[in-house]
A and B are shown apart, each in its own frame.
Chain A
Amino acid sequence: SYVLTQPPSVSVAPGQTARITCGGNNIGRKSVQWYQQKPGQAPVLVVYDDSDRPSGIPERFSGSNSGNTATLTISRVEAGDEADYYCQVWDSRTDHFIFGGGTKLTVL
């Protein structure tokens, strides 16, 4: 089955840029989504189809996807961005959702 690999943690100072990666075999050929989950809350979609943002998501959140790595980039990081972030792809052969293991973003 298809596996998505994320770093367990990423740390960044306020105002800097955070990059969270999601690795998978030829992931560049798939559509990648990113979800933000703050403590005690439900996940929220922040990027879909590699780089599109739902309405209400700040432009500071952007995504890219190529080769074997997809990346969520958060510019001008704020304390409120501290959360767990999960990548997700769709397995069209089985109609299953596949999630990465999640990355905890810490704002120093």
Chain B
Amino acid sequence: EVLLVESGGGLVQPGGSLRLSCAASGFTFSSYRMTWVRQAPGKGLEWVASIKQDGSVQYYVDSVKGRFTISRDNAKNSLYLQMNSLRDEDTAVYYCARDKCVGDCYLDYWGQGTLATVSS
């Protein structure tokens, strides 16, 4: 059974940092691209960042470029999102998800999410 479990969310002041983690199990983690998607309170889904299987290439939505860093440790079956210079508008539930790419890509499994709240 594919399982994705996020952790690391919490309350942080504007300008602060958080590191989110996603523990993966039930599949060969190193064979899949992985992605973070966020959802602000009462809002829709927003793609945040993705990373290739070997960690060599990362992709980011413009609003987080230079502030967020996606990374992975294939030996630990773990995905990370380092979030720096946090803003009020980064407040959201952050989901990690597994990419399924057959030509185009989609997200076939999602974690339950972790809430990051940016507030003074």
A99:B44 contact, CB within 8 angstroms:
yes
CB<8 Å pairs between A and B, sample of 11 = A30-B104, A31-B104, A37-B45, A43-B95, A45-B106, A45-B108, A48-B106, A96-B47, A97-B107, A99-B46, A99-B47
- Which of A33, A42, A101 contacts B106, CB < 8 Å? A33
A97:B47 contact, CB within 8 angstroms:
yes
For the complex of A and B, list the 4 residue pairs with the smallest distance between their C-beta atoms, beginning with the closest.
A97-B47, A90-B104, A31-B104, A33-B106
B contact set with A: CB distance below 8 Å? 35, 37, 44-47, 50, 59, 61, 95, 100, 102-113
A97:B105 contact, CB within 8 angstroms:
yes
Give the bracket for the number of chain A residues in contact with chain B.
Answer: 20 to 34
Task: Give the residues from 38 to 91 in chain A that come closer than 8 angstroms, CB to CB, to chain B.
Answer: 41-45, 48-49, 54, 84, 86, 88-90
Q: A48-B108, A94-B59 are in contact. Are A102 and B45 (CB under 8 A)?
A: yes
